[in-house]
Amino acid sequence: MNLRPLLAPRSIAVVGASESPDSWAPEIFRSLQHLGYRGELYPVNPKYDEVWGRPCRSSVLELPKGVDLAVIVVPASVAVRAVEESGRAGVRSAMVVSSGFAEAGPQGMKLQEELRAIARRGRMPVLGPNVEGFVNYVERVAPYGTTPPPEPIAGTVSVISQSGTVAWTMGQMASDRGLGLRIILGVGNEAVVGLGDMFGWAAADQHTELVVTYVETMRDIEGIGRGLDALRVAGKPVLLCAPAGTSEAAQRSIVAHTGALAGDAALRDAWLRAHGATLMADPVEMFEAIVLLSSHRALRAPGVAAALQSGGACTLFAEAAAEAGLELPEFTGATRRRLRAALPAFAGQNNPLDVTGQAAVETEMYVAALEALAGDPRIGLVAFDAFPPRLESEEVWAEPVLARARELQEETGVAFASVAMSPLSYGKAARAFVDRAGIPFLQGHRAAAGAVRALVDLQDVKERALPVLPPHANRGRALRALRGMTGPLDEARAATLLELYGVRRPVERVVDTPEQATRAARVVGFPVAVKALAPEMPHKERLGGIRLGLADAAAVAAAASQVLAAARRAGARRPQVLVQRMVQGAEVLVGAVVDERFGPAVTIRPGGALAESGEATFIAAPLTRTQAGRFVEHLATACGLDPRAHDLAAVARAVEGIARASADLRGRLASLEANPLIVGRRGAVAVDALAEARPPA
């Protein structure tokens, strides 16, 4: 789809042109003038002979051949015909500002489908409906139905949003802070041109270096995936804010713990990360990330240090950094020695570093502290507080600090950013100062910490990409094991799936009677666990279907009778008994869920009784061994795993196997989990298995 006529039109027809204050048309005309649009402009409205000092045509059919863009500002019932006539008149693209389409109910949805069909028949790109328009800063064109940015500066950041208000806010903040943008655009209802199309445009656009987007609902998942992949291949970062909401939750079974943990946005976010998006908490944090990424794209190390002028600022920054998941490493011995030489005797040496308010008058001391931090190999970014001037004639005390920070960036590769405790307005002097400072100025500790988190996350975008893997050698056997199955599987069949994908099980036997259970226990080796085996009771413990730590034959026989009785009470038709050797170690849950929209994703978290407590972190599947290892290392502490006492490599193999199974079997599998996976010093064993099958498509 060629979007040049839509986004950089050399001629525009405004259908429904009017000078009435009740119309969007005057706002669009004002925005075009404000940006300095120099192309042809054709008002179209049968009610007037002249609009905006120009002759007004009564119909789009009267337009000269080859107009680039028709901006439609007539009611929805008339807008569809206007698009159809625009196509017949040879107009190359359209933007439908009008509301009253899909957002207005069934009748509006019918109109939108009609609009889509007309546009596709004529191969016409259409933006909207229900859209405010856009501001193209580079080509200086703004068919924009709301207040344009006061001081639009051309840059390399493309803001592409499902919310016109978010796009507008980004444009206003960029103007206030003197930041250049390439385009701000809301996609409206996405009847024809959607987020994915705009991402594809940005990937190919020579002026775009960074994409910022706000997503409310994933209307075209495949298109968005293609667009995000194109941006990743082009090396253009994507900052994406997508609030959690119920609209993203597909209807899926939650029999498995993993399914219960997969909240409305968890699987969507895992999918987005796998396609290269860096997720942001809110638009304010996202804007600060734009400021930071406009100066820095690479970090030599993930660690962050701060050198601030008050204890309060240090405390607030530390809390914000912890909330953002930033690493504030302790300083090395060499760094501490340099800090002792630079700072007063009463100064501490914690991170964040309190350089006290004296730093503003003893800039040599502040510079020496920054030099020490820049020399610490664990530090990739240093935050400090040196602000733009507040008065037009103010002499800036921080000039020598900023000058040395710029030099240190070149000499050491460490990134520097000034961080203010709260937002500050910029006058002309401040904007000019920021423009020539060569250092990003971030506002608000929480937003700034989120921006730094985005920069850290950006370092491994390529490593997060979904791998293209051939089917596992055991995929055929796994599919045969699922043949005819729907809903929860018994543990033995679920365990078969785990074992086919390399997840170990303890020594165990399946039997039918208490007498057989005692013989199996002697073969397996005491102590043993005895479990009811039936698809009707996936959560055996809740229904009395498990007995643990049995050390003799009599106890096994009694336990087998009890769990069989519990299974029958739960409605099991043909219950069996699983006799399993007891295993000791740390308990974790490793599980995968296959979402009908976003595909498979896997998680690891504390197991056993803690399995469903708190939020879970998901990662899209499949995974390579390296990706699985990084995921386990990242979550090991939260799962109670210590690399000195637990075999993290074995856990990574289990994560890899379950992720691979969920990807291979996505058409037949709803969920698969090992809970708990018992992790010892050597090895990891899945002592319980649960799986849910979905009917064949």
Cα-trace Rg, the chain? 31
Q: How confident is the model at residue 110 (pLDDT cuts 50, 70, 90)?
A: very high
C-alpha span between 446 and 385 (Å, rounded): 15
Predicted local distance difference test score (pLDDT) of residue 254: 39
Asked whether 17 and 48 are in contact (CB, 8 A), the reply is yes
What is the per-residue pLDDT across 581-596, written as a single tens digit (0 to 9) for each? Answer: 999 999 999 999 999 8
CATH number, domain containing residue 283: 3.40.50.261
Asked whether residue 271 is assigned to any structural domain, the reply reads yes
Q: Which pair of structure tokens corresponds to residue 412?
A: 């050491």
C-alpha span between 571 and 227 (Å, rounded): 49
Q: Which pair of structure tokens corresponds to residue 10?
A: 């050399």
CA nearest 80: which of 24, 118, 28? 118
| Strand spans (E) along 492-598 | 508-511, 528-533, 546-550, 576-581, 586-595
Torsion of the alpha carbons at 53, 58, 62 and 65, rounded to the nearest 10:
60
Asked whether residue 335 is assigned to any structural domain, the reply reads yes
Q: How confident is the model at residue 387 (pLDDT cuts 50, 70, 90)?
A: confident
Asked whether residue 614 is assigned to any structural domain, the reply reads yes
CA nearest 690: which of 590, 559, 564, 620? 590
What one-letter code names the amino acid at 224?
I
CATH number, domain containing residue 57: 3.40.50.720
Q: What is the DSSP letter of 141?
A: B
Please, what's the b/e burial string for 650-686 (b: 16 or more CB within 10 A of its CB; e: otherwise)?
bbbbbbbbbbbbbbbbbebbbbbbbbbbbbeeebbbb
Residues 546, 516 within the same domain:
yes
C-alpha span between 494 and 482 (Å, rounded): 9
**Mean pLDDT on 597-609:** 90
Asked whether residue 601 is assigned to any structural domain, the reply reads yes
Residues 328, 439 within the same domain:
yes
Residues 251, 271 within the same domain:
yes
Residues 434, 474 within the same domain:
no
User: Phi then psi for 71, rounded to 5 degrees?
Assistant: -95, 115
Cα 253 off chain centre by = 24
Q: Which pair of structure tokens corresponds to residue 479?
A: 């599919």
Asked whether residue 141 is assigned to any structural domain, the reply reads no
Residues 265, 346 within the same domain:
no
- The total number of structural domains in the chain stands at 5
Residues 478, 532 within the same domain:
no
**Mean pLDDT on 296-314:** 96
Predicted local distance difference test score (pLDDT) of residue 435: 86
C-alpha span between 650 and 144 (Å, rounded): 56
Q: Which residue has the tokens 């190999």?
A: 377
CA nearest 329: which of 382, 371, 291? 382
Asked whether residue 112 is assigned to any structural domain, the reply reads yes
Predicted local distance difference test score (pLDDT) of residue 246: 47
Q: Which residue has the tokens 């085996």?
A: 533
Among 129, 164, 180, the domain boundary falls at 129
What is the per-residue pLDDT across 487-530, written as a single tens digit (0 to 9) for each? Answer: 999 999 999 999 999 999 999 999 999 999 999 999 999 999 99
Q: Which pair of structure tokens corresponds to residue 352?
A: 């964040």
H or E stretch at 117: helix 106-121
Query: Going by DSSP bridges, is the β-strand pair 134-136/154-161 parallel, antiparallel, or unpaired?
Result: unpaired
C-alpha span between 238 and 273 (Å, rounded): 10
CA nearest 237: which of 197, 289, 315? 289
Asked whether 309 and 356 are in contact (CB, 8 A), the reply is yes
Average pLDDT, the chain: 93
Share of the chain above pLDDT 90, in %: 86
Asked whether residue 135 is assigned to any structural domain, the reply reads no
Asked whether residue 134 is assigned to any structural domain, the reply reads no
Residues 277, 338 within the same domain:
no
Residues 493, 555 within the same domain:
no
Asked whether 309 and 359 are in contact (CB, 8 A), the reply is yes
Residues 562, 596 within the same domain:
no
Residues 596, 533 within the same domain:
no
Asked whether 632 and 673 are in contact (CB, 8 A), the reply is no
Q: Is the dihedral of CA 554, 560, 563, 568 positive or negative?
A: negative
Residues 485, 631 within the same domain:
yes
Predicted local distance difference test score (pLDDT) of residue 391: 79
Domain assignment of residue 519, given as a range: 507-582
Query: Going by DSSP bridges, is the β-strand pair 379-384/303-308 parallel, antiparallel, or unpaired?
Result: parallel
Q: How many residues does the chain have?
A: 697
What is the per-residue pLDDT across 162-195, written as a single tens digit (0 to 9) for each? Answer: 999 999 999 999 999 999 999 999 999 999 999 9
CATH number, domain containing residue 685: 3.30.470.20
Among 399, 429, 458, the domain boundary falls at 458
C-alpha span between 16 and 145 (Å, rounded): 13
Number of alpha carbons in the 13 Å side-chain half-sphere of residue 97: 23
Residues 523, 478 within the same domain:
no
